[in-house]
A and B are shown apart, each in its own frame.
Chain A
Amino acid sequence: QVTLRESGPALVQPTQTLTLTCTFSGFSLTTSKMSVSWIRQPPGKALEWLARIDWDDDKYYSTSLKTNVTISKDTSKNEVVLTMTNVDPVDTATYYCARGLRWYDYWGQGTLVTVSS
């Protein structure tokens, strides 16, 4: 059974660094063609793709966010971590992690992060 779960702070102050963890089970990121991505959704708005990390440690980032975002994995813990520096209120969103290389067949439930002072 595949599951993913996002965790992290619910509230972050502007200019701070946001760190989110995706803990998954039912698959391994050491398996060829396996991948985990982060996607976010501001309240009432569309989905926005943020970053992806592949089984071979290749990493891909949103063009608009790549200077602020880092994705990493810990295969021993079955975790993928997203770090976003210098956050702004516009980064307020529900953040999802999802499994898949080209499409996402399993998603976490999402975690709402509010950026506010």
Chain B
Amino acid sequence: DIQVTQSPSSLSASVGDTVTITCRASQSINDYLNWYQQKPRKAPNLLIYGGSNLQSGVPSRFSGRRSGTDFTLTISSLQPEDFATYYCQQSYTSPWTFGQGTKVEIK
């Protein structure tokens, strides 16, 4: 199975900060990497698909990039509603797999 290693596992940031979360795939997955946001007791919400494509309705402060097997999710100008847990998911080869999550907390 393809592993996706997400880092950091948690981070503290302030409103207005720029935050970057990384996922590293265990092998090449082209652009088949997706990002989700999950708030407590809620289902995940798709933010980015195909490495860098912004899902409809998601604010433009969220962006995704790929460099080889490393993928980054960047949140520019963090807003209060962005404090949540973020997951990456690879969809290059079945079985799909998720990263371990990054919890973004208020500093």
Which residues in A have some Cβ–Cβ distance to B below 8 Å?
A: 37, 39, 46-49, 52, 60-63, 96, 98, 101-105, 107-110
Contact = CB atoms under 8 A, between A and B. Distances in A.
Interface in B27-68: 32, 34, 36, 38, 43-46, 49-50, 55
Interface of A is mostly: loop
30 contacts: A37-B96, A46-B98, A46-B100, A46-B101, A47-B44, A47-B98, A47-B101, A49-B97, A49-B98, A61-B95, A63-B1, A63-B95, A96-B44, A102-B34, A102-B50, A103-B34, A103-B46, A103-B50, A103-B89, A103-B91, A104-B34, A104-B36, A104-B44, A104-B89, A105-B49, A105-B55, A107-B43, A108-B43, A109-B43, A110-B43
Interface residues of B, number: 23
Nearest to B9: A46
A109 B44 CA distance: 9
A49 B87 contact: no
Interface of B is mostly: loop
